[in-house]
Amino acid sequence: MLRAALISLLVPALPCMAGTISLQQPVDCTLGQNCYIQNYVDRDPSPGARDAGCGHLTYDGHKGTDFALPTIGAMQAGVDVLAAAPGTVKAIRDGEPDRAFVNGASVAGKECGNGILVEMGDGWETQYCHLRKGSVAVKPGDHVTAGETLGLVGQSGKAEFPHLHIGLRHDGKVIDPFDPDMTQTCAHDITRDELWSKPLAYVPSGLLQVGLADTPPSYAAIKSGIIPATTLPGDGPALVAWVYGFGMQAQDVVSLKINGPDGFHFAHDSQIAKPKALFFEFAGKKTPPGGWPAGEYRAQIALIRDGKVVNSGESHIKIN
């Protein structure tokens, strides 16, 4: 049985760990464009949670880094999981269904889902979890090189969204690749000693998709993956701006604005009461009598934290 992300150890401080190994990005995607980091290693030994950037992109006891895809559609299209470093495959698991946890099926003892354990020598090992069913491309005893394809990103095991959970351990102890020595104090120096061969930017929150529609899209449709409209009828029921993102913190403000022909302007701000790993917000205005004037409409959406815009996006549609 795969030695899974099941080991209940708190993250310890380890001296002189930085620079001993080098890791490549383990998913074949571009961070900030078609993938993002949803969760980091939990650095807080108490029941609370804190990531290496002094943020909240983690949860209590999380022991790895989650490279997430924005939609289920992206997972179904296929995104490669890559070996972060060379080593020998010690164990695998395949055949677990994707989305099992979300659908309420038991994953006890198989929280990692479809996974791969790779030993790198000198007590180092990497574990890859939640791969897509039937995609594991290696077997025990295989030697893998850095960048070699191991399988596909999936949503098997205890996974609420499509992602790769990669765990790094040394002599059985959890290591945070963003701060292996556990010496950093906040986000400004998070890349100082990280183990990634190409530094990965710490991004505490982001907008995954924005759009305009004539009715509010369902959250399920957004997570599955929809293509934002480029044209809309003038006599639809409403004009709605929507946003899908990650890393929302308590007291953040989501600002949604729509501008259009003849001086049309709509604005709505929502203040968030509690943190949300993933969020979906929308607001809009009912169609006026006679319909919307023809022309271009633009949605401007911003995530505001402590009075400053931390993320923003735009979407355009034409009404004929």
pLDDT tens digits along 192-202: 568 999 989 88
Q: Averaging pLDDT over each range in 19-23, 58-62, 182-186, 305-309, which range is the top one?
A: 305-309
Please list the alpha-helical segments (H only) found in 88-133: none
Q: Is pLDDT of 284 > 60?
A: yes
Q: Write down the pLDDT at residue 45.
A: 79
Q: Report the predicted TM-score, pTM, of the whole model to 2 decimal places.
A: 0.87
Q: Which of 257, 298, 295, 253 is nearest to 272 (CA)?
A: 253
Looking at residues 84-105, what average pLDDT do you find?
88
Q: Is 204 left (phi over 0), alpha (psi -120 to 50) or beta?
A: alpha
What ranges do the domains of the chain cover? 36-189, 206-319
Weakest-pLDDT range from 89-103, 112-126, 158-172 = 89-103
Q: Write down the pLDDT at residue 121.
A: 94
CA 253 – CA 246 distance, rounded (Å): 13
Q: Is pLDDT of 14 > 60?
A: no
Q: Give the Å distances, CA to CA, from 78 to 69, 134, 146, 153, 172.
A: 10, 12, 20, 7, 31
| Largest Cα span, the chain | 73
Q: Is pLDDT of 13 > 50?
A: no
Spatial CB neighbours of 103, under 8 Å, sequence gap ≥ 6 = none
Q: Write down the pLDDT at residue 280.
A: 95
CA 84 – CA 23 distance, rounded (Å): 5
Q: Write down the pLDDT at residue 183.
A: 66
Architecture of domain 36-189 in CATH? Distorted Sandwich (2.70)
Q: Write down the pLDDT at residue 103.
A: 63
Tell me, yes or no, if the two domains 36-189 and 206-319 fold the same way. no
pLDDT tens for each residue of 142-189: 999 999 999 999 999 999 899 999 999 999 999 999 988 766 656 445
Dihedral sign of CA atoms 274, 275, 279, 285 in order: positive
pLDDT tens for each residue of 241-260: 999 999 999 999 999 999 99
pLDDT tens for each residue of 16-25: 444 479 999 9
Spatial CB neighbours of 306, under 8 Å, sequence gap ≥ 6 = none
At residue 211's C-alpha, the angle toward residues 209 and 213, to 5°, is: 145
Looking at residues 291-320, what average pLDDT do you find?
96
Q: Write down the pLDDT at residue 10.
A: 30
Indicate the burial class of 148 (C-beta count within 10 angstroms; 0-12, 13-18, 19 or more): middle
Kindly indicate the confidence band of residue 101, based on its pLDDT and cuts at 50, 70 and 90: low
Q: Under CATH, to which class is 206-319 assigned?
A: mainly beta
Q: Are 163 and 119 in contact (CB under 8 A)?
A: no
Looking at residues 109-121, what average pLDDT do you find?
96
